[in-house]
Amino acid sequence: MTTFEHALRKFGADLLFGTQVFPDAGPIPFVGWIPDFQYSHLPEIYGKEGAERTHSAAREIVARVDRLLMSSEAVKQDLQRLFPHAVAKARVVRFVSPIPREIYDEDPAWVCQHYHLPPRFFYVPNQFWAHKNHYRILEALQEEPARSAGVVVVCSGNAHDQRNPTYFGELLAAISAAGMRERMIVLGLVPRAHVLPLMRQSVALLQPSRFEGWNIGIEEAKSLGKAVLASDLPVHREQDPPGGVYFNVEDAQDLSEKLVEVWETRRPGPDGELEAAARADLLPRMREFAERFLTVAREAASARSWR
């Protein structure tokens, strides 16, 4: 018996949950989570070796799990395509982003002064990774009607992409070369406590990603009560944010038009109606998530003898 398995038994663990296999954990029931199968849709981002390595890790999880957590039906459909034998163990459990109650106690307009921002802007809280599609935003802002409308987009997030370490610098250079630094404002990584105020102050959350398993930004906007403009991906439709508007992920002109559509119909700052509905709906949504997760955990715990 390994030290890890001994500790699990000593402390009365019923199961393990994680995104990787624990070979020294013994025969404890295991709930695995594969966030997405992005490597099968955008292999060019991973490179051949990276895609093969990621597929191998997914195969190990699939082979070991008693239950497999899927964040969306979209991910489960990819599982059906790649590992059809594992679908019987898969369960869709859509996570919900909690929102601190005190976030509603302050006027979020302070972020404009703090970051020297105009009062109206779209907010993109994404890592600066290639699949997050920042270049499509830059293209759209240079197209009509967004160019003439004066649309502003504010971006924050982790600037380091280990798969493409030059991406962030190249993006900044492209923004400068296009003369768009006042229209596409890059904050870089901001404190976590500033993300929700930036989202509340914005006209809407902008989510232009080329691929997602279940998008955290959209989920936070749903929980907070903020309108969303998102790329038209099946998973974004599945998330179904109130006030959602969608654009063709590969079409800068379509994004330009949708930016102006939302820009002209939404005001910056808190949306009383959306926020009230989100606050009323949040606890039931969180309870539903917890109950589904516990159901999956109980299924896994009863799937094999452990103690």
Query: Does 245 score more than 90 pLDDT?
Result: yes
Whether the Cβ atoms of residue 180 and residue 141 lie closer than 8 Å to each other: yes
Radius of gyration of the chain from its Cα atoms, rounded to whole angstroms = 21
Confidence of residue 178 (pLDDT cuts 50, 70, 90): very high
Identify the helix (H) or strand (E) that includes residue 244. strand 244-247
Cis amide linkage into residue 145, ω under 30° from 0: yes
Give the pLDDT of residue 268. 98
Give tens-digit pLDDT for 223-240.
999 999 999 999 999 999
12-26 tens-digit pLDDT = 999 999 999 999 999
Average pLDDT over residues 118-137: 97
Strands 153-156 and 244-247, sheet pairing = unpaired
Give the predicted TM-score (pTM) of the model: 0.94
Residue 164 or residue 155, greater confidence: 155
- pLDDT at residue 307 is higher than 80: no
User: In which band, very low, low, confident or very high, does the pLDDT at 59 lie, cut at 50, 70 and 90?
Assistant: very high
- Cβ atoms of 146 and 140 within 8 Å: the answer is yes
Please report, rounded to a whole number, the percentage of residues in the chain having pLDDT higher than 70: 100
The pLDDT assigned to 88 comes to 97
| pLDDT at residue 163 in the model | 87
- Do the beta carbons of residue 210 and residue 231 sit within 8 Å? yes
Check residue 66 and report its DSSP letter.
S
Residue 272 burial (C-beta neighbours within 10 Å; 0-12, 13-18, 19+): exposed
Find the DSSP H helices in the chain.
Answer: 3-10, 38-41, 43-64, 73-82, 110-115, 134-142, 146-149, 167-177, 192-201, 216-224, 234-239, 252-265, 272-301
Tens-place pLDDT, residues 71-96? 999 999 999 999 999 999 999 999 99
pLDDT digits (tens, 9 = 90+) for 159-176: 998 888 999 999 999 999
Q: If you average pLDDT over residues 60-71, what whole number do you get?
A: 97
Position 159 scores a pLDDT of 94
pLDDT at position 305 is: 82
> Domains, the chain, ranges and CATH?
3-92+286-301 (no CATH), 101-270 (3.40.50.2000)
- Mean of the per-residue pLDDT values for the chain? 96
pLDDT of residue 162: 86
pLDDT band of 209, cuts 50, 70, 90: very high
Three-state SS at 207: strand
